[in-house]
């Protein structure tokens, strides 16, 4: 019998697969982390069926290793993402992202009056787990934002 199970997006040879991204956020993640600013293949899959009712996005980065800073930023944007290291077509490492206590230089503080938006400094947020998701508290103005309020490009 013919095998009918195929990958929705081609397998990669070497690199990183960011899996279980909330549906619709892959493009945002790639733009925010500038993951396509190289001469290497980046494949996005948006709104893939995941489980019985849900949907997810996937980002595949050929010839790439994520830095610790990038992993922390991915965790803030997609707290349930899985990072898969691919070597010679095999998954050689799989881990869930880990939320950092604090994140710098990711996106501006949503508070217009915050000093970080008026002085040459990067925004910095303390990350707190809140109900099922997270909250971000600005280090400078001390205001607290939901993830939806803080993510600017969506």
Please check whether residue 134 is in contact with residue 147, taking contact to mean a CB–CB distance below 8 angstroms.
yes
How far is Cα 116 from Cα 68, in angstroms, rounded to an integer? 24
Please check whether residue 43 is in contact with residue 60, taking contact to mean a CB–CB distance below 8 angstroms.
yes
Stretch that binds Zn ion, among 46-54, 87-95, 112-120, 146-154 (CB under 5 A): 112-120
Site for ligand CTP contains 57 (CB under 6 A) = no
Please check whether residue 82 is in contact with residue 96, taking contact to mean a CB–CB distance below 8 angstroms.
yes
In this chain, which of 14, 50, 82, 111 binds Zn ion, going by CB under 5 A?
A: 111
Find which of ligand CTP, Zn ion, none residue 30 binds, CB within 5 to 8 Å per kind. none
In this chain, which of 60, 64, 116, 139 binds ligand CTP, going by CB under 6 A?
A: 60
Minimum CB separation of residue 43 from Zn ion in Å reads 36
Residue 71: both structure tokens together: 């992993």
Site for Zn ion contains 141 (CB under 5 A) = yes
């Amino acid at each position: 019998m013919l095998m009918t199970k195929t990958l929705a997006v081609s397998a990669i040879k070497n690199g990183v697969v960011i899996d279980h991204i909330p549906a619709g956020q892959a493009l945002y993640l790639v733009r925010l982390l500038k993951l396509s600013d190289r001469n290497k293949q980046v494949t996005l899959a948006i709104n893939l069926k995941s489980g019985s009712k849900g949907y997810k996005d996937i980002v595949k980065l050929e010839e790439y290793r994520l830095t610790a800073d990038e992993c922390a930023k991915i965790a803030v944007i997609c707290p349930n993402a899985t990072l898969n290291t691919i070597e010679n077509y095999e998954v050689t490492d799989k881990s869930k992202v880990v939320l950092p206590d604090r994140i710098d230089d990711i996106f501006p503080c949503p508070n217009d009056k915050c000093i970080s938006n008026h002085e040459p400094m990067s925004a910095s947020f303390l990350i707190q787990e809140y109900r099922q998701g997270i909250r971000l508290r600005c280090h400078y103005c001390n205001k607290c934002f939901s993830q939806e309020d803080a993510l600017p490009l969506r």
